[in-house]
Amino acid sequence: MLELLPVFEWLYGLAESIGLSGTLLTVVVYSVLGVMMFGILALLALFLVWWERKIAAHIQQRFGPMRTGWHGWYQTIMDALKLLQKEDIRVEKRDKVVFFWAPIICFVAAFLAYVVMPFGKGLIVADLNIGILYIIAVTTFTVISLLMAGWGSNNKYALLGGMRSAAQVVSYEVPMVASILTVIIFTGSLSMVDIVESQSGWVWNWFIFRVPFGPIAFITYIIAATAEANRTPFDIPEAEQELVAGFNIEYSGMKFAMFFLAEFVNMFTVSAIAVTLFFGGWQGAFLPSWAWFLGKTLLVVLLLMLFRWTYPRLRVDQLMEFAWKILVPITFANLIIAAIMKYAGWYW
Amino acid sequence: MVESNVGPVFYILAFLIIASAVMVVSLKNIFHCALALVMCLFSVAGIYILLNAEFLAAAQVLIYVGAVAVLMIFAIMLTTNLASRNIKQVTENALVSVFICALFCLGTIFLLWATPAKIWRYATESLPVDNTAIIGKYLMTEFVLPFEVVSLLLMAAMIGAIVLARKERS
């Protein structure tokens, strides 16, 4: 079983043998961990891009990438390399500082959530006691980066995309947080490890199986999360037919790649949160804990991908109405039901 | 818990806060001002983390950066012709405001100087692990009145915003 603790100890031992100490030691060890996490997530994002293309193709009765390797498995690696070599086009009338920082902030915000992500038993960078709240807080930087990209490009399509995304993410944050709170009522802790451990034991301890609030909370969460990740049927910010590409229209090369990778990392993030909250996180028999976590998360990712390629996009007004008139009341009613059940002790 | 490495981090954060706060009130482009405000509020969250108040830090980022600043930026983007215009940040009342600020600054310094040193102290032990739950309990028991007053205030502000928006349309 792969655990992080031995890796940590090995790293500490290595760093200490060089002669580092105190603050510097912590800084070095966490930097190495950060780089490791970045590498794993970048690979994962590349895989997700390829997977999405394959799923889309098969839904549309095509093959998708086939020419590079077995079923085109290294197509996205080649695409990424190509993007790195491309010219970095800078629009003449851009807002220089804002245009430059937008993709960087988007990229960093996407990876920040993984500080508290429990990949497996003991496989977590830092078990903050505000875990899930921390994730909700740092993901708000994604919105700011999209707004910056929209503004900095000095392009009306980009501006519209950025504005739509801000309106959408701010609206859908409310039902998303309310769904998460439904689970938090029962765990009594915001720590990601505590949330997973409160679902230990048999499979009916997973929050998805705790009727009636569990499944409802999961459904509302996954809807809100799809909107948060800007994916179809909620991909208004980058609706290709209306806005060409939305907020990232003026970006090319490396900067575009950063937005693109961040989008797929975000998709993995919301799925991983869903798994942690509702599907028992790393819990499972026989296989190592990280394999369970990865497998469950990829299943949720698959669900999001199927959404994308089988549902049509909502209109802007429908999107807002759905958030405020349907989703918010349902999540709050569900939250109250969960609170009553917790108070009365009607749960297991 | 005060550690020896808090010093440099604190000074970096303090510099960021002051620099970005000055940028908020001095930059010509109002969009840049809003982004500087985001940086300022985010750095304040860093100070909270140094003081072991993680919940407060997360709430700061969530509410001020995630909601308030985003709505501000949103409003700026929706306002037409604000992009190209250079906003003059200094009015003719500059002298008066400098005077008021100086007075406030002196008052703060006096307060810091006059307060006995033993009142200004860091907590020596770290917070209990479930401090978020404790904050929640206190909000619902001992401080329920201020909590409700704040919610009422927000409600009133919301209704005010709706009334203003409706008037404009008719």
Query: Per residue in A221-274, pLDDT tens?
Result: 998 888 887 777 777 666 666 666 777 777 877 888 888 888 888 888 889 888
Least confident of A295-304, B1-10, B104-113, B157-166: B1-10
The chain-wide mean pLDDT, for chain B, equals 81
* Distance, CA of A298 to CA of A55 (rounded, Å): 13
Contact A293, A118 (CB under 8 A): yes
Chain A residues within 8 A of B82 when measuring between CB atoms: none
Chain A: residue whose CA lies nearest to B5: A23
* Distance, CA of A275 to CA of A208 (rounded, Å): 10
* Distance, CA of A323 to CA of A236 (rounded, Å): 14
Amino acid code (one letter) for B127: L
Contact A262, A109 (CB under 8 A): yes
Chain A: residue whose CA lies nearest to B66: A140
* Distance, CA of A51 to CA of A64 (rounded, Å): 10
Contact A254, A79 (CB under 8 A): no
Q: How far apart are the first and last CA of chain B?
A: 57
Confidence of residue A22 (pLDDT cuts 50, 70, 90): low
Q: How many CB pairs under 8 A join A and B?
A: 87
Name the interface residues of A facing B (CB cutoff 8 Å). Answer: 22-23, 95, 97-98, 128-130, 133-134, 136-138, 140-141, 143-144, 147-148, 150-151, 154, 159, 162-163, 166-167, 169-170, 173, 188-190
What's the confidence (pLDDT) of residue B2? 44
Rg over CA atoms, chain A: 21
What counts of helices (H) and strands (E) characterise chain A?
13, 0
Least confident of B2-11, B85-94, B150-159: B2-11
Does the beta-carbon distance from B74 to A163 stay under 8 Å?
yes
Using a 10 angstrom Cβ sphere, with 0-12 exposed, 13-18 middle and 19 or more buried, the burial of residue B169 is exposed
Question: Within 13 Å and on the Cβ side, how many CA atoms surround A165?
Answer: 33
- A204-226 pLDDT per residue, tens: 778 777 777 888 888 999 988 88
Q: Does the beta carbon of B54 lie under 8 angstroms from any beta carbon of chain A?
A: yes
* Distance, CA of A162 to CA of A168 (rounded, Å): 10
* Distance, CA of B13 to CA of A19 (rounded, Å): 29
Whether A101 shows a pLDDT value over 90: the answer reads no
* CA A320 to chain centroid: 22
Percent of chain B with pLDDT over 70: 81
* Distance, CA of B96 to CA of B89 (rounded, Å): 15
Instruction: Supply the angle between the helices A22-59 and A253-278 in degrees, to the nearest 10.
Output: 90
Whether B170 shows a pLDDT value over 90: the answer reads no
Measured between CA atoms, how close is B102 to chain A, in angstroms? 32
Residues 6+ apart with CB under 8 A from A320: A167, A168, A171
What's the confidence (pLDDT) of residue B149? 93
Using CB atoms, which residue from B35, B65, B131 is nearest to A148?
A: B35
Alpha carbon distances (Å) from B3 to A25, A200, B11, B123 = 15, 37, 14, 11
Q: Is the ipTM of this complex over 0.85?
A: no
Confidence of residue B1 (pLDDT cuts 50, 70, 90): very low
Whether A305 shows a pLDDT value over 80: the answer reads yes
Percent of chain A with pLDDT over 90: 2
Mean pLDDT over B113-125 rounds to 69
Mean pLDDT over A303-322 rounds to 83
Alpha carbon distances (Å) from A120 to A46, A193, A286, A294, A298 = 22, 9, 14, 9, 15
Using CB atoms, which residue from B31, B66, B74 is nearest to A140?
A: B66
- B57-78 pLDDT per residue, tens: 888 888 888 888 888 887 887 7
Confidence of residue A1 (pLDDT cuts 50, 70, 90): very low
Whether B39 shows a pLDDT value over 50: the answer reads yes
- A56-70 pLDDT per residue, tens: 888 888 887 878 778
Whether A183 shows a pLDDT value over 80: the answer reads yes
Question: Residue B110 CB: number of other CB atoms within 10 A?
Answer: 10
Residue A134 tokens read as 């921390």
Mean pLDDT over A275-287 rounds to 81
Question: Residue A41 CB: number of other CB atoms within 10 A?
Answer: 19
Which residues, numbered 11 to 40 in chain B, qualify as contacts with chain A under a Cβ-Cβ cut-off of 8 Å?
Answer: 29, 31-32, 35, 38
Rg over CA atoms, chain B: 20
* Distance, CA of A147 to CA of A131 (rounded, Å): 26
Phi–psi pair at A176, nearest 5 degrees = -65, -45
Residue A40 tokens read as 């794993």
Mean pLDDT over A163-174 rounds to 82
Whether B13 shows a pLDDT value over 70: the answer reads yes
Percent of chain A with pLDDT over 70: 93
